[in-house]
A and B are shown apart, each in its own frame.
Chain A
Amino acid sequence: MKTKSNVKCRKIGSKLAGLKNETLMWLLLLPTVFTLILCHWNPIFRGMLTSLFQTRGFKLVEFVGLLNFKNVLTDTMFLQTLSNTFQYVFWSLVIGVIPPLAIAIAVNEVVHFKQGFKVLTYLPAVAPALAASIIWMNIFSPSSGGMLNIFLNWIGLPASKWLLNENLTIPLIVISMTWKGYGATMLLYLSSLQSVSQDLHEAAVIDGAGVWKRLFKITIPHLGPTMLLMLVNQIIGVFQIFDQPLVMTDGGPNNASLTLGLTSYKMAFSYMQVDRSMALGTVSFFILLIATLFYFWMQKKLED
């Protein structure tokens, strides 16, 4: 009897302790939840609400339903802007995905001057973005004093228009972004690479697997989840890009580098049309939802 009631007591006790524990655990999450509500859900709710109103300054004046959306979507520039935005994403996938991966694997491989390579290849990432834009603007400058044009001049070729060339402007902006941004991604891959179990490699060597086979059978699959995460992060990031084109081309030439983000930014700040800006932001939000769905779908596939 005695032991039995004791057990019962303990059970109730542990349940209570569990509840208490649960509360304490949520307390640990409290700051995160708080900021999540304050800095994410609150502004998106306010932003979407604003998109349904006519605004005066930041103040809501009159409910107008979907008028702002109609205005934004019937804009003759909308489709071009959307297509530009996708072009940025496309080029960032073409230009931006391989370098951090290749450099991370290479740095992980070498034994000579390893630390030096790490530091040097990471260096661009410590430059403030604005500084990077200033520098790349000069490198791609269409005037004879632009760095690339000096090189062309050296080898006897005529100067190119670079950023002024409608077909080149997006890839060039993406190159400057890649130069600035690949370091962080590389670092993430590096730390992931360091956790590849060396036993796996050794076992594969014994099985007679060559270097290439091991790269694709062991290293890349190991990086898989990180790569997927970085990919989605990159797509989302590039989809919202506005500061680089703002600084480097102001959306030109002939709107060739205008993005949804930049249009939305200009509406809010240059043209004082907060309502329309918020409507365009909401549109981007829904497009990005699709990217999110894609991420979850891929993640599931990878897990299976």
Chain B
Amino acid sequence: MNRRIERKKEGLITSSDYKRLSVKISYWLIVLFLVLCSLIALLPIVWAFLSGFKELNEYYSVNPTLLPQKISWDKLVDVSTKLKIGKSFINSMILFFGCWVGEVIVGGIAGYTISRLQPKGSKLLFTLMLWTMMMPHTLTMVPMFMTWTDFPLIHINYQNTWIPLWTGSMANIFNILLFKNFFDGIPKSYIEAAKIDGCSNIGIFAKIIVPLSVPIISTITVFVFNGTWNNFMGPFLYLKDPNMATVALRLYNTTQGFTEPEQMLAAFVVMIPSVIVFMICSKQILGNNMNVGVKG
């Protein structure tokens, strides 16, 4: 076990610190802290699972129990069918990919342009963007809806298309800001060295910037995933076709008629596909490949 610590290369506590007893104890306290945090993170999910299987009278019993009397998988299947979990998951993914293109590619290029290429006026644009970031949704929700249902000049109603939701993602200022900050942090010496080696701008972008950006891209990808997963108001306003309903929207529409145990089970069920996707991609998203950057 300790061998792993000796090989530890990152973070505050170095292998030399670890020789001291107090640090040793602190280290294991940190591990304990993380165990506790993981439990707190998991507990509500487990609770949703357990109470979702309870019968109504069991759920509201005066002497409630933690465990349900019976875990019947039929209930799980039933709730999943009602939620049309497969279809709504695919819809959520469509939403996700569109938004991903908008937020990562368009946003990333914008962040890069503002940070590195700096055309005249881009500073002003950036300042304006920062100011814009503070806008309250409640002020913009209704006017935005009016815009999308009767687009100025061309009078087209974009309801039931992904356009309003995808387009909105392109102007995610927070992400552009993150990209810009990240690109700002890449030392100039990298780029200059590459220039001396005879790299063109596009070569620099493709060979140096993009590989360096893996951590920020994966972080923002996760944000996009969360954002699309949470977005209820958008699909609620713009996607009236039931065949386009995303997971969040299905959850809302379906749980209206659900009892509370069913709601809990539904809340659990909608987590399953995203957890699976997350597990598969966790190596890429959270993996150890972030050890890139300043040091080289």
Question: By the criterion CB–CB under 8 Å, are B59 and A145 in contact?
Answer: yes
- CB of B263 within 8 A of CB of A215, answer no
* With known contacts A134-B255, A191-B290, A117–B9 Cβ distance under 8 A: no
CB-based contact A215/B12 at 8 Å:
yes
CB distance from B163 to the nearest CB of A (A): 11
Cβ proximity bits A205-236 to B, threshold 8 Å, 1 near / 0 not: 10000010011001100000110010001001
In the complex, the answer to whether A44 meets B140 with C-beta atoms within 8 Å is yes
User: In this complex, what residue of A is CB-closest to B225?
Assistant: A126
SS of B interface (majority) = helix
* Chain A residues with CB below 8 A from B178, complex form: 188, 229
A202 adjacent to B14 (CB under 8 Å): yes
A183 neighbours in B (Cβ, 8 Å):
226
Alpha-carbon separation in the docked complex, A39 to B168 (Å): 6
CA of A41 to CA of B134, assembled, Å:
12
Distance of B49 from chain A, by nearest CB (Å) = 10
Question: Is A248 on the interface with B (CB-CB < 8 A)?
Answer: no
Residues A126 and B34 in contact in the complex (CB < 8 Å), given A32-B107, A194-B293 = no
Given A22-B120, A28-B113, A134-B264, A128 and B229 contact (CB-CB distance below 8 Å):
yes
A184 within 8 A of B: yes
B243 within 8 A of A: no
Contact check: which of B14, B27, B143, B252 meets A43 at CB < 8 Å? B143
Contact of A40 with B135 in the complex, beta carbons under 8 Å = yes
**Taking the nearest CB of chain B, how far is it from the CB of A154, in angstroms?**
9
B117 is an interface residue with CB less than 8 A from chain A = yes
Is A271 part of the binding interface, using a Cβ–Cβ cutoff of 8 Å?
no
A268 close to B142 (CB less than 8 A): yes
A29 sits at the interface (CB 8 A): yes
- Say whether, besides A43-B139, A144-B62, A205-B14, A138 and B119 are in contact (CB < 8 Å): no
B189 close to chain A: CB less than 8 A? no
Residues B142 and A191 in contact, CB atoms below 8 Å apart:
no
Cβ contact within 8 Å between B266 and A131 = yes
State which of B139, B263, B275 has its C-beta within 8 Å of the C-beta of A285. Answer: B139
Are the CB atoms of B13 and A211 closer together than 8 Å?
A: yes
Closest B residue by C-beta to A264: B138
| Residues in chain A near residue B288, CB distance under 8 A | 115
Q: CB-defined interface of B183-198 with A at 8 Å, one 1/0 digit per residue?
A: 0010000000000000
> What is the CA–CA distance of A124 and B60 in the complex, to the nearest angstrom?
26
Whether the Cβ atoms of A22 and B119 lie closer than 8 Å is yes
A42 at the A/B interface (Cβ < 8 Å)? yes
* Residue count of chain B within 8 Å CB distance of chain A: 120
B48 interfacial contact with A, CB 8 Å? yes
A224 CB to closest chain B CB (Å) equals 12
Whether B16 is near chain A, meaning CB under 8 Å from some CB there, is yes
* Closest beta carbon of chain B to A178's beta carbon, Å: 10
**Contacts of A239 on B, CB cut-off 8 Å?**
136
> Is A129 a contact partner of B232 (Cβ separation < 8 A)?
yes
Give A22 to B177 CA distance when docked, in angstroms: 21
B11 pairs with A109, CB closer than 8 A: yes
Residue A142 interfacial (CB < 8 Å): no
In the complex the two chains form, is B143's CB within 8 Å of A194's CB? no
Q: Assess whether A106 is interfacial by the CB under 8 Å rule.
A: yes
The answer to whether A118 has its CB under 8 Å from any CB of chain B is yes
Contact B282 A119 (CB under 8 A): yes
Other-chain residue from A39, A153, A243 in contact with B167 (beta carbon distance below 8 A): A39
Chain B residue numbers with a CB within 8 Å of A136 are: 44
Which of A36, A119, A138, A243 is B278 in contact with, Cβ under 8 Å?
A119
Say yes or no for A147: interface residue by CB 8 A criterion. yes
List which B1-42 residues lie within 8 A (CB) of chain A.
Answer: 1, 4-5, 7-14, 16-17, 23, 26-27, 30-31, 33-34, 37-38, 40-42
Determine if B9 and A32 form an interchain contact, defined as CB atoms under 8 angstroms apart. Answer: no
Residue in A closest to B247 when the chains form the complex, CB atoms: A128
A268 adjacent to B138 (CB under 8 Å): yes
Contacts of A102 in B (CB 8 A): 33
Which A residues are closer than 8 A to B by beta carbons?
A: 21-22, 25-26, 28-29, 31-36, 38-48, 50, 58, 99, 102-103, 105-113, 115-132, 134-136, 138-139, 143-145, 147, 150, 153, 179, 183-184, 187-188, 190-191, 193-199, 201-202, 205, 211, 214-215, 218-219, 225-226, 229, 233, 236, 239-240, 242-243, 260-261, 264-265, 268, 274, 277-278, 280-282, 284-285, 288-289, 291-292, 295-296
